[in-house]
Amino acid sequence: MVTQQLAPTAAAARLQVAPTSPSPRLADEPDRPKPLPADEQGLLEALLRGDEAAFVHLVERYHSSFVRLARAYVGEVIAEEVAQEAWLGILRGLHQFAGRASLKTWMYRILINGAKRRALRERQSLPFSAVWETTSEPFEPAVGADRFRGPGDAWPGGWVSCPQSWGEAPEERLLSKEVRNQIERAIDGLPPSQRSVVLLRDVQGLSAAEVCAALQVSEANQRVLLHRGRSRVRRVLEAYLGRPSEA
């Protein structure tokens, strides 16, 4: 397990070993730190005391998402290594965490920076200027044009068939393992930039501001990437469930 592999470093943290590298600073961080949520503050204090149980809790909570997000930049095998390197960086940087962003945003930033560096070394990813440039991806409408009536129709622009809510599908089907697997495969099949935004927003629950800070993208780019990613996932689900979806 990753927690066992990182145990020696966790023990070092418990002995208050000084960090070996500076904590990364977000480009848009304010000069003064912001109060952390109560749960993050308590967790941070436990980590700074060298509480190994707190570190294990953190790894169990975030490691799988670290690996999955790293896969947007590097290959399957290397993603695990990138995640483990991120945990080491987090442990070493805890004493310099300034609270200018949330703890989870700071951790994801460490992971993403490490994944970018590793991707450049391995040459398994696009240049990052291209990854984060929304104009590099062709425009895709949220709903196909064939779903609407043509200009010669009596009601041009109207729906060919009105969308039906997925809420009408049996709840057991919407919550089934098969549907969850379809969603995961759809997300994993997104372009790297869209995948990263969708994973952080819709899977990990980060706010738009936190995603912009972690990925160093503008609010406009974050919004476009999220919309395009969600639209692709929606189309996959629509095909699987056999129902039209809301735009």
- The pLDDT of residue 89: 94
* CA–CA separation, 101 and 31 (whole Å): 11
Which tokens in the block code for residue 104? 């989870």
- The pLDDT of residue 160: 54
Closest among 124, 115, 140, 233 to 185, alpha carbons compared: 233
Q: Are 33 and 99 in contact (CB under 8 A)?
A: yes
Tell me: the pLDDT tens digits for 141-182? 555 555 556 666 666 655 555 555 555 555 555 556 777 888
Tell me: the pLDDT tens digits for 85-138? 999 999 999 988 888 888 989 999 999 999 988 988 876 444 444 444 444 555
What letter represents residue 132's amino acid? W
| CA angle, residues 221, 82, 200, in degrees to nearest 5 | 35
Residue finishing a domain among 72, 93, 122: 122
Residue finishing a domain among 88, 122, 156: 122
The verdict on residue 180 lying in a domain is yes
The verdict on residue 105 lying in a domain is yes
Across 78-87, average pLDDT? 94
Q: Are residues 49 and 90 in the same domain?
A: yes
Closest among 54, 60, 22 to 40, alpha carbons compared: 54
Q: Are residues 157 and 65 in the same domain?
A: no
Structural domain boundaries enclosing 141: 131-241
Name the region of 102 (left: φ>0; alpha: ψ -120 to 50; beta: rest): beta
What are the CA-CA distances from residue 147 to residues 55, 143, 169, 231, 233 (Å)?
50, 7, 21, 14, 17
Q: Are residues 96 and 138 in the same domain?
A: no
Name the region of 75 (left: φ>0; alpha: ψ -120 to 50; beta: rest): beta
Read out DSSP for 79-135?
HHHHHHHHHHHHHHHGGG--SSS-HHHHHHHHHHHHHHHHHHHHT-S--HHHHT-GG
Q: Are residues 14 and 105 in the same domain?
A: yes
Q: Are residues 115 and 145 in the same domain?
A: no
Q: Are 145 and 159 in contact (CB under 8 A)?
A: no
Query: Is the pLDDT reported for residue 10 higher than 80?
Result: no
Across 53-75, average pLDDT? 92
Q: Are residues 36 and 105 in the same domain?
A: yes
The rounded mean pLDDT for the chain is 74
Q: Are residues 118 and 139 in the same domain?
A: no
Query: Is the pLDDT reported for residue 195 higher than 50?
Result: yes
The verdict on residue 247 lying in a domain is no
How many domains is the chain partitioned into structurally?
A: 2
Query: Is the pLDDT reported for residue 199 higher than 60?
Result: yes
Q: What is the CATH number of the domain that holds 192?
A: 1.10.10.10
Q: Are residues 118 and 136 in the same domain?
A: no
Across 36-46, average pLDDT? 82
